[in-house]
Amino acid sequence: MIIPFRKTLMVLAFSALSGLALADTPARVGRIALAQGPVNISSEVGEEATAALVNWPVTTSNQIVTQRNGRTEIRIGSTSVRLDGDSSLDVVELDDDTLRLHLHYGSLSLRVRNAEVLRGLDISTPQGVVRMREPGRLRIDAERVRDTTNVSVFEGTAQVDGGGSSLAVRAGKRVDVHDDDVRTALAVRDSFDDWSLQRDARDERTTSDRYVTTEMTGYEELDQHGVWRDDSDYGPLWTPRSVAADWVPYRDGRWTYLAPWGWTWVDNAPWGYAPSHYGRWVLVRQRWSWAPGRNIGRPVWAPALVGWVGGNNWNLAFNDNGTRRNAPAQGWYPLNPGESYVPGYHLPPEHLRHHNRHARPDYRPGRHDGLTVVGLNLFVGRGQIVVPRAPRPLLTPLTTQNAPFGAPPRPQGNWRNRFDRDGDGRSDRNGPGRVITVPSGDGQPFSRRDGRPGDNERFVRTPPQVLTTNEPQRSLAEKDRRQREAEIERRERDQVNERRLREMETDGRRSLETQQRLREAELAERQRQADGERLRGAEREQRQHALDSERRQREAEAQLQGQRDALNRQQAERLQRDASNRQIAERLQRDADQERLRQVERQQQADRQQQAERQQREAETARRQQAERQQQDAENARRQQAERQQRDADNERRQQAERQQREAQQREAQQRDAQQREAAQAQARQAQQQQQAQQQQAKQQAQQQKQAEEADKRERAREQRQDRQDRRDNVQQQIR
């Protein structure tokens, strides 16, 4: 088949489901992040509930119920909602800017990290409404005590409206809301709060928020199960760790039909939510890696970012209990970042541009890496399609290459549109016109009788394929051959388009004959719907009666629990009184012991004061004696210096007289003068020796005095230590 026409058929096949959702679909969807014990989820109030699986999408009108031993965690971006056992929660509204929850009964723990989600967030209970004013963590208990809602704030601030008043509750406080009364107390944690704190601790250690926004639901699972790296072509890439060598995305999980999006993928891996509903998968070095893209901004959720092939016109051989049989096949493959995502539901233009922000009009994949194929008959029923257990055919390169583009059909039966609550087949609110891209195989292609598009419809054509600029250069003959082939392809495409237009005109004429039959079938279908609605009403009444019985049983159990709590409180009060009496006696005994110790300390303080005064007097005496010794030493030194000076003066006068005499009798008394000088020098030496001996004696006396003082000090210190030891022994003997 010609490639441009094949791509046109792919776009046309996707539009076959466009009538399912005429209104804009939300870009934010939550997930079941954890399910412990019996946990059930239903898509509408009153519908049959199914067991909640990890990665199951959570959106508007979902109801989550936990049994007595069950617990679950719901993640919506960075916001965590956890339910304890025996709880029932309704998701009243969940879209891009609003999250409204209603807790019928049970315990709910809420953790909000992003201040941007606070504006549209509120939780209602039978007694009131709770709104958070700043990011934090709180807990709500509804109907644990009859007609009572308890709100405990552990972090942040909350606004509680109920009981005829509005109250701001800060961290560490609790509010008990009754129908006509509000009471405050201190917040108390239990095992459910400790479990919630352990779950929150994982988000504190994550590093994935460096690569994706925290409002991408499921991002918290990536660190534990994979590795991040930067790629020059695709930007951030995340590669799972523990997967088989032949592992392929969108193969280990199941398909379920979720209105209004259509067929939605639920991955079996705990980390499979974010890589299945955001970004694209790429094959790098023979390993699959997930590329969320650069500058992702606010994420937009998708049921599955895959391309569909197959349908009634694609038959393959299946092995059915050892017998080979040909049957229609349906396949899908992960979209590459360069491929355009064409949803089967209506999206705002900015959301569609977000999905295709990296798509290239000239991208030609050539082959479908990671193709998975099952029987088309699996997509006809209402049940889930478990892919690992579904029979798959043996694929060959030829069958893969010739696979036509086509999306799976809508399940048979009456699937209500989430925006068509009245069941009249039209949206409850005005939505943009449909995008008609293919003539339907089982009805009139366009709304007008002549086969032309209606006023609110537009015909979308796929642009012709353009050769990429990175193809190798070829010879002129090759270019001519390619031009001829392109001309032949254009002619064939024109012929096919003309033939299809003629078929459309024929279908338009035939539609006049089938409209009456369609109207009759529609009337019969509406009658069956009315009968089914009456039956569902009776079932709802029975279910409501069962819920009332269960509620009365819970009330009786709560009353018994209240009586047991009263007995426990009385016993606790008696124990508390006994403990108080014991504490009073112990306190009196401690006071008496402390008084005795204070008396002993006062006595010791007086002794220390007396000892300090004695030491001070001794120190003053020692300083006075030392000053007297220093004064005596100074007087001795001055006296010795005066004596030396006097001797020196006498010597000088005598020497002067001798010089005068020598001058007079120089020639005659030289020998006598020499003898006198020698005698004077000997006398001076003798005087100097006497002075040195006196100084040495003074030093010895000072050293002996110092040694005597040190011995005296040591003796006094030993006496003081002995006195202190005696007083300590006396005090201990008095205490004993």
- DSSP, residue by residue, 41-93: EESSTTSPPEE--TT-EE-TT-EEEE-TT-EEEEEETTEEEEE-SSEEEEEEE
CATH number at residue 87: 2.60.120.1440
CA distance 650 to 291: 116
Q: What angle do CA 421, 423, 426 make, to 5 degrees?
A: 90
Helices and strands: H and E segment counts in the chain: 8, 29
pLDDT band at 508 (very low <50, low <70, confident <90, very high): low
- DSSP, residue by residue, 487-548: HHHHHHHHHHHHHHHHHHHHHHHHHHHHHHHHHHHHHHHHHHHHHHHHHHHHHHHHHHHHHH
Q: What angle do CA 48, 52, 56 make, to 5 degrees?
A: 110
Q: Is residue 281 part of a domain?
A: yes
Q: Within this chain, do residues 200 and 302 fall inside the same structural domain, yes or no?
A: no
Count other C-beta atoms under 10 Å from residue 295's C-beta: 6
Q: Which position has the higher pLDDT, 480 or 693?
A: 693
Q: Within this chain, do residues 181 and 241 fall inside the same structural domain, yes or no?
A: no
pLDDT in tens, 123-154: 999 999 999 999 999 999 999 999 999 999 99
pLDDT in tens, 534-588: 887 787 778 778 788 778 887 888 788 878 878 888 888 888 888 888 888 888 8
Q: Within this chain, do residues 392 and 274 fall inside the same structural domain, yes or no?
A: yes
pLDDT in tens, 523-536: 787 787 788 778 87
Q: Is residue 95 part of a domain?
A: yes
Q: Within this chain, do residues 260 and 349 fall inside the same structural domain, yes or no?
A: yes
Q: Within this chain, do residues 303 and 197 fall inside the same structural domain, yes or no?
A: no
Q: Within this chain, do residues 196 and 273 fall inside the same structural domain, yes or no?
A: no
Domain boundaries, position 137: 25-205
Contact assessment for residue 177 and residue 140, using Cβ atoms and an 8 Å cutoff: no
pTM (predicted TM-score): 0.57
- Among the listed residues 478, 261, 280, the one whose alpha carbon sits nearest the alpha carbon of residue 360: 280
Residue carrying structure tokens 């008696």: 574
Which helix H or strand E contains 125, and what residues bound it? strand 121-125
Which helix H or strand E contains 709, and what residues bound it? helix 670-735
Model confidence at 197: pLDDT above 90 = yes
Q: Within this chain, do residues 177 and 288 fall inside the same structural domain, yes or no?
A: no
pLDDT at 709: 85
Count other C-beta atoms under 10 Å from residue 108's C-beta: 22
pLDDT at 474: 41
Strands (E), 321-379: 323-334, 372-375
Q: Which position has the higher pLDDT, 5 or 292?
A: 292
Q: Within this chain, do residues 221 and 160 fall inside the same structural domain, yes or no?
A: no
Q: Within this chain, do residues 300 and 356 fall inside the same structural domain, yes or no?
A: yes
Q: Is residue 579 part of a domain?
A: no
- DSSP, residue by residue, 238-288: EEESS--TT--TT-SEEEEEETTTEEEEEESSTT-HHHHHSSEEEEETTEE
Boundary residue ending a domain (387, 412, 437): 412
Boundary residue ending a domain (145, 175, 205): 205
Number of domains in the chain: 2
- Among the listed residues 333, 311, 216, the one whose alpha carbon sits nearest the alpha carbon of residue 265: 333
CA distance 435 to 13: 12
Distances (CA, A) of 710 to 54, 707, 713, 716, 719: 88, 5, 5, 10, 14
- Among the listed residues 435, 343, 305, the one whose alpha carbon sits nearest the alpha carbon of residue 19: 435
Q: Within this chain, do residues 288 and 150 fall inside the same structural domain, yes or no?
A: no
Q: Within this chain, do residues 172 and 268 fall inside the same structural domain, yes or no?
A: no
Rg (alpha carbons) of the chain, rounded to whole number: 50
Q: What angle do CA 495, 501, 505 make, to 5 degrees?
A: 145
pLDDT at 479: 64
Contact assessment for residue 467 and residue 361, using Cβ atoms and an 8 Å cutoff: no
Residue 470 burial (CB < 10 Å; 0-12/13-18/19+)? exposed
Q: Within this chain, do residues 154 and 233 fall inside the same structural domain, yes or no?
A: no
Query: What's phi and psi for 719, nearest 5 deg?
Result: -65, -40
Q: Is residue 557 part of a domain?
A: no
Which helix H or strand E contains 436, and what residues bound it? strand 435-436
Q: What value does the mean pLDDT take over residues 657-663?
A: 82
